[in-house]
Amino acid sequence: MNAKNATGSARRTELLELAYAYTLEHGLANLSLRPLAAATSTSPRVLLYLFGSKGELVQEILARARRDQLQLVAEVTEELRAEAGARASSESGGDGLDSYHELVRRLWRWVAAPERCGTVRLFFEAYALSVRPHPGPWRGFAEQSVRDWTEVLLRAHPAGSPDLAAVRVTRTLALLRGLLLHRLAGGDPDHLEEALLAAL
């Protein structure tokens, strides 16, 4: 990579992070390049040069949000694996659903935290836009999100009937999303967590 491309790549990465932070606060549906450029100390021309188009920039922001989600899941899953390994040396038996429920509880606590409200709003905004008849740059976001979270929850689910696991994971995902909408509307996170665990 030559010096020019390296500089462009670094600036592109920096502006993507700034644009992501901007959309967490202002949303994506009415994103306009001029106020975004002003907020990120650049110009619409530079944004178009680095990202190609507004649509491509939106897709990059959505991909950035998805990376955040997957990193969270990886961290929580790794924590639980480490804890399970520590317990295995001192105890035996136990219900595999315990670790599944613990994963769901920790995921809920992360996404329902007050500092994640912008992330959750952005997720639902992109999700709704992606299921319109003509989704444009949001195309595929909802489907990919369902696949990502379904795969994660299935991997965490204890061995047994694949059909039962699929049903339980579908229910879990629906519960998480419904309760997160309730959370955005002002629901108490502790109360909602109780409802989530009771329904699992």
The CATH fold assigned to 56-199 is Tetracycline Repressor; domain 2 (1.10.357)
> Domain limits of the chain?
56-199
> Which pLDDT tens digit goes with each residue over 77-113?
778 777 766 665 455 444 567 888 888 998 899 889 9
- The mean per-residue pLDDT over the stretch 150-175 comes to 89
> What's this model's pTM, rounded to 2 decimal places?
0.81
H or E element, residue 74:
helix 54-88
Q: Are 108 and 179 in contact (CB under 8 A)?
A: yes
Is the pLDDT at 24 greater than 70, yes or no? Answer: yes
Rounded to an integer, the average pLDDT of 9-23 is 94
75 backbone φψ class: left, alpha, beta (φ>0; ψ -120 to 50): alpha
Provide mean pLDDT across the span 61-73.
86
Residue 137, both tokens: 């740059």
pLDDT at 87: 61
Q: Tell whether the model's pLDDT for residue 138 goes beyond 60.
A: yes
What gap in Å lies between CA 171 and CA 165, rounded to an integer? 10
